[in-house]
Each structure stands twice: as structure tokens, then as C-alpha cells.
Copies of this chain bind each other. A is one copy, B any other.
């Protein structure tokens, strides 16, 4: 009976080969649109057409329409009565609504994470912080795309540690919804050269390193509130100017 030998051989093969994993076209379209949304590549109120996106992504309409449908159910996009779909416009109420939800849920997530993050995870987010500093050092090129990516990595590395399979998708949905909004805020920050975000992140890291859930929550709230309050005042002044 060679069964054991064959089994050993198979195991040896399995140890070398990584599972290839079939990713459907729809999944790629979905990820791509997510990335674009969170990164703020689409602007608020912009309408998207199925055929247009299909052409841009070089596929047929089928994967695109299903990806759009999924994004609509997570409120990342909006279905108009005309059956056309657009990225939701910014309003003052929506801004406040989003911020409140993010404080509630991301605050809870980081409080949970504070008790569960080991030295391993702390090291990871410190690495991300290091990359941030590096980027700031050679600031000749204000790479806002990279800034957005690093910010996202930093936060989600923390949230992943909260151990909740329910909260994380909700946070992703919230980021998807606030992505188009905060892009303009980050851009403005980067231009104005204001107090850098890294400082806020550092406070979060020290709180997490000392397992201080309360401090972590407060630091996080301060961090995510900034772009919202900035945008809020900007919107208000714009509204005031409109009225004149």
C-alpha cells in the first residue's frame, strides 16, 4: 500500500505551492471601484454609467452592474429614481451623520483592539508610521494618494485586531461613504501644510501600546473628527457666500 507515500508526496507539493484562488471579474471590478471611492477619485454628485465604467475597466457590462448594485446596498453609491447611479452628494447633515456613526463604531472597535493588540500588531502600525515619516521627509512630492493609502492601512490594521467580524464590514462601509468627502479635506490639509496627521496617529499608538482603551478612543475621535470639522466649516462658509 503506497497510500502513505502518495499522501506524503502531496503534502510536500502543497507545502511549496500557494493556493491560486479564483478571483472573478466582478470581484476585481468591485475592488477597483472601492479603491477609487475610498481614495476619492470620484467626486460627490458625479454620475456613473454602467457602459462607461465597463469601457474604462475593459470588460462587459455584466460584472460592472453587479458591482454597482453591491456598492449601492452599502450606501457607497446612490440609485436615483431615474435608475442612474451617482456618488452621494455632500450635505451638512450627512457629514454630521457620518462622523457620529464613525465615532460610535470605530471608537468601539479601537477600544476592543486596545485590549487585544500584542507587540506584534503594535510593531506593524509603528512600521506604517515610519513609512509616513519617511514620506514626509522627502516632501517635495506631495503624494496624496500614498497618504490616503497609508492612513487606511494604519486604521484598518488596528480595526482588524478588534476581533469582530461584524464591526469591520460596517467600518468599511463607513469609509466607503466618507471617502469622497474627506478626499478634498486631506488635499487641503496637505496643501496648507497644517499640523500633520502623524502626530495624531502617534498619540493613538502610545495609547494602544499601554492598553489604554479610553485614551485610544479619544485620540481616534480627535483624528477622524478633523477632516469633518474642516469640511463642515468650509461648507458653511460656501453656503453663506451663496446666500449673498
Q: Which residues of A come within 8 Å of B, CB atoms?
A: 22, 26, 65-66, 69-70, 72-75, 83, 94, 97-98, 100-101, 104-105, 108, 164-167, 169-170, 173-174, 177
Contacts and interface: CB of A to CB of B under 8 A. Distances in A.
B105 A104 contact: yes
A164 B174 CA distance: 13
Given A74-B74, A94-B165, A165-B94, A170 B101 contact: yes
8 contacts: A22-B83, A26-B69, A66-B66, A94-B166, A97-B167, A98-B166, A166-B174, A166-B177
What copy number does this chain have within its complex?
2
A62 B98 CA distance: 33
A104 B104 contact: yes
B164 A100 contact: yes
Q: Which of A22, A26, A100, A165 has the most CB of B within 10 A?
A: A165
A57 to B, nearest CB: 17
Given A104-B108, A173-B170, A165 B70 contact: no
A18 to B, nearest CB: 14
Contacts of A169: 75
Contacts of A83: 22
Contacts of A94: 165-166
Given A66-B65, A69-B69, A75 B177 contact: no
Nearest to A97: B166
Give me the 8 closest cross-chain CB pairs, A-B, nearest first.
Answer: A70-B73, A101-B166, A97-B166, A66-B69, A97-B164, A69-B70, A104-B108, A66-B66
A90 to B, nearest CB: 13
Contacts of A166: 75, 94, 97-98, 100-101, 174, 177
